[in-house]
Amino acid sequence: MGNRREELLDAAIAVLGEGGMHGLTHRRVDAAASAPAGSASNHFRTREALLDAVVMRFAERERRNWEAMAGQLRPVAPEELAGALVRFAHAATGEHRALTLARYAILIEAGIQPGLRARLLSTGAGVNAWFIAWLRLAGSSDPQRHAPIIMNHWTGLVLHELAIPDPAFDPTEQITTLVTHLLRSEVTT
């Protein structure tokens, strides 16, 4: 079991995932954590301090989730990379739905608070490096260029599924088409 600080931050992530940025208050975090009133404000004096800590905790949890799945995979072909991205999309919209919704709420807030951008960039650097390495393994001749194309599509696809859930959600064809076309088109030209 984690410590009280982590419990409060995990509760804050759940609050963000369920109620968006406007729902993130110390009081709601206390309630979500089943903690005594004032617990969140004792650990995080201001809403900004709470949000800063939430960004770090959510990045840690996403990295852990990524590493757990990525550690089992070694995609050496475009189709294998596409399959891994499909698995990540299902996890992001299924078992990790609240965490993913919290990420999108934080991304939107970063558009308003530039200070969050720098923290998001630094926390995402490890995942980006891992994805670029995967692209190389899968045959990308230009992983620095391909990474944002693929990940921006993936991000939009996941966002759409979160906003308008489809019980038959299956991004396999879209992701496979994009990844295989992008990675193989340069090999044949």
**Alpha-carbon distance 42 to 3, whole Å?**
14
Least confident of 65-69, 106-110, 112-116: 65-69
Reply yes or no on whether the pLDDT at 186 is more than 70.
Answer: no
Q: Does residue 73 or residue 37 have the better pLDDT?
A: 37
Q: 189: pLDDT confidence band, cut at 50, 70 and 90?
A: very low
Decide if pLDDT at 78 tops 70. Answer: yes
pLDDT of residue 2: 59
- 153 vs 186, higher pLDDT: 153
CB 74 within 8 A of CB 136: no
pLDDT > 90 in the chain, percent: 69
Contact 57, 31 (CB under 8 A): no
Bigger pLDDT: 113 or 188?
113
Tokens of 47: 């809403």
**What is the CATH number for 147?**
1.10.357.10
- Does position 7 have pLDDT exceeding 90, yes or no? yes
Q: What is the 3-state secondary structure (H, E, C) of the chain?
A: CCCHHHHHHHHHHHHHHHHCHHHCCHHHHHHHCCCCCCHHHHHCCCHHHHHHHHHHHHHHHHHHHHHHHHCCCCCCCHHHHHHHHHHHHHHHHCCCHHHHHHHHHHHHHHHHCHHHHHHHHHHHHHHHHHHHHHHHHCCCCCHHHHHHHHHHHHHHHHHHHHHCCCCCCCCHHHHHHHHHHHHHHHHHC
Residues 57 and 13 sit within 8 Å (Cβ to Cβ) = yes
> Exposed/middle/buried for 6, CB within 10 Å: 0-12, 13-18, 19+?
middle
Tokens of 133: 């390495």
Q: Which residue has the higher pLDDT, 30 or 67?
A: 30
- The residue segments making up the domain with residue 112 are 4-188
The pLDDT value given to residue 188: 47
pLDDT for position 115: 82
Over residues 19-63, the pLDDT tens digits come to 999 999 999 999 999 999 999 999 999 998 999 999 889 888 888
Residue range 82-88: mean pLDDT, rounded: 94
**% of the chain at pLDDT higher than 70:** 97
Cα–Cα distances (Å) from 172 to 51, 65, 74, 88, 108, in that order, read: 34, 20, 18, 11, 27
Query: Is the pLDDT reported for residue 1 higher than 60?
Result: no
**What digits encode the pLDDT tens for the residues 116-154?**
888 888 777 877 888 898 999 999 999 999 999 999 999
CB neighbourhood size of 114 (10 A): 8
Number of domains the chain is built from = 1
